[in-house]
Amino acid sequence: MRRHRNQGGYRGELLPIRQVARRIRDAARERGWAICELTRQGEHPIWQLSKPPTDPVRHPRRIYISAGIHGDEPAGPLAALQLVEEHRWPAAVEIHLFPCLNPAGMMDNRREGLEGIDYNRDYRNPKTALVRAHRGWLDRQPDYDVALLLHEDWEADGFYLYELNTSGRMSTAADVTRGVGQVCPVLKATQADGWPVTHGVVRPDVVPATRPDWPEALYLSEEKTDLCYTFEAPSDFELPIRVNALVTAVNAAIRHLASESS
C-alpha cells in the first residue's frame, strides 16, 4: 500500500484547490452553514465555515477544525470536503471549520505560504497577515471543547496523532487510532519528529514559554481549548486512504465528545 514515492518531501497528487475550495463552500452553503471570507491570500479567499447546532435545546459542544495550513498536504482539504458533504454531525455540536488555510501553497505543493514562511510556526508573534487575521478571528471566539487539526506527514509509515490535553480531559486518542486502523495503517515507528510515539499517539512534553515558533496547535492549546488533536495522515499512501483516515479520525473524536456530554 505504501508507494515509496516521497523522497525528501511529498511527491504525490496535487490538489485543484480552487475547485475544491468552491465545492466545500457550496456544499456548506447547501447544508445551511454560515460562510465568511476571513481574508485573502493573494487571489485566494480564505473561507471560514460555521455549522450551528441542529438541536438548539442542549448546550452545544463547540468544535474547531482546520486543514490545509501546509500546502504539501492535500488530504486535509479533501477530508474537509467529505465531512461537509456527508453531513454526519451529532445534533448538539457547533462546528467552526477552516477548510484550507494555505491555498497558494496547495497550488505549488509548497509547505509554506506566499511569504515563504511556515504559517504553522507563526502563531506566537505572527509575522504574516494571514496568521494575524486567523489569530484575530480566534481571539473573538469563545473557547472550544476540542480542536482538530488535519495534517499529513510525508515520511510516516502510518497515521499518528498529537494530543495536547492540558487539564486531564478524557482522551479520545485510543478511539481515534482504533477507528483509523480499520482504514489506514497506524504508525509503527516509535519516533515522529523527535517525539516518542506509542500506538500512534504522541503526547509532546512542550513548554510553550520556551518556544518562539508556536504552531497553530500550541496557540489553541494555550488560549482556546484544553484538548487539541493534530492528526497526521501518511502521505506516502494513496490519497483516498489518507482522506479516509482523516475523516475517520474526525468522526471518531466528535462521536467521543458527543457521548461524553450526553
Q: Which residues bind Zn ion (CB under 5 A)?
A: 70, 73, 151
Q: Closer to Zn ion at the Cβ: 134 or 151? A: 151
Shortest distance (Å) from residue 90 CB to Zn ion: 27
Nearer to Zn ion, 60 or 68 (CB): 68
The set of cell numbers assigned to 151 is: 495534517
- Shortest Å distance, C-beta 137 to Zn ion: 20
Which CB, 93 or 107, lies closer to Zn ion? 107
| Contact yes or no for 184/242 (Cβ under 8 A) | yes
Q: Is the CB of 73 or the CB of 94 nearer to Zn ion?
A: 73
Q: How many CB atoms lie within 10 A of CB 191?
A: 10
Give the chain's largest Cα–Cα span: 52
> Minimum Å distance from CB 9 to Zn ion?
12
Least separation, in Å, of the C-beta of 70 and Zn ion? 4
**262 within 8 A of 32, measured Cβ to Cβ:** no
DSSP-assigned letters across all residues of 162-205: EEEETT-PPP-HHHHHHHHHTTSPBP--SEETTEE-BTTEE---
